[in-house]
Chains A and B, each alone.
Chain A
Amino acid sequence: ELKVEQNPLFLSMQEGKNYTIYCNYSTTSDRLYWYRQDPGKSLESLFVLLSNGAVKQEGRLMASLDTKARLSTLHITAAVHDLSATYFCAVDSDYGGSQGNLIFGKGTKLSVKP
């Protein structure tokens, strides 16, 4: 059974600080996805990582994927209040196939304080 674990589950940061959210998964996959969810809202796609060593950056967020370690990281640089949200990682359950359902981690609730 594919399991996806995120840590930490709760993260309180000060503005201007850096931090990393970790996403570990239990089975072979080379596709990993990061989503953001604001309170009471739906999920917004942030990054799609499709190969070992993939790195993508958008603003203060950078995501990377190490398929050998079965690990993805979401790095936050110089956090600002607008980044406060819950961040989910997800792994494709159909590795080697063309489509599949995504298995999500429990999410990391990020709170950025002044």
Chain B
Amino acid sequence: GAGVSQSPSNKVTEKGKDVELRCDPISGHTALYWYRQSLGQGLEFLIYFQGNSAPDKSGLPSDRFSAERTGGSVSTLTIQRTQQEDSAVYLCASSLWVNIYGYTFGSGTRLTVV
């Protein structure tokens, strides 16, 4: 597609429920990143996929968070047993060569856990 597409744009969920957030990167971009943006915490790196390599999961805050990328394209970020502190905007970005072009970000999913 023309840009990075994320869905849903907004999600309200009850504490303890599981949620899935979707990211569709720019066609041809081999690298895909998930970040979390919350008040007072800035932009926090979560996970990074590069081609067919094993993902860099070093930023995932707990084992309730997981992500996969199918076919080198669409990615799903799953949060299990959501907690109120998971409330944030989850941003996806993709890149062809980050060291030349940087990232292109999606518009984000605003997650509210009540």
Contacts and interface: CB of A to CB of B under 8 A. Distances in A.
A33 interface: yes
For A90, A100, A104, which residue has the most chain B Cβ atoms within 10 angstroms?
A: A100
Nearest to A104: B43
A44 B3 CA distance: 12
B3 to A, nearest CB: 9
Interface size for chain A: under 10, 10 to 19, 20 to 34, or 35 or more residues?
20 to 34
Nearest to A47: B102
DSSP majority for the B interface? Answer: strand
A31 B99 contact: yes
Interface stretch (B20-28, B62-70, B80-88, B105-113): B105-113
A28 to B, nearest CB: 14
A45 B106 CA distance: 12
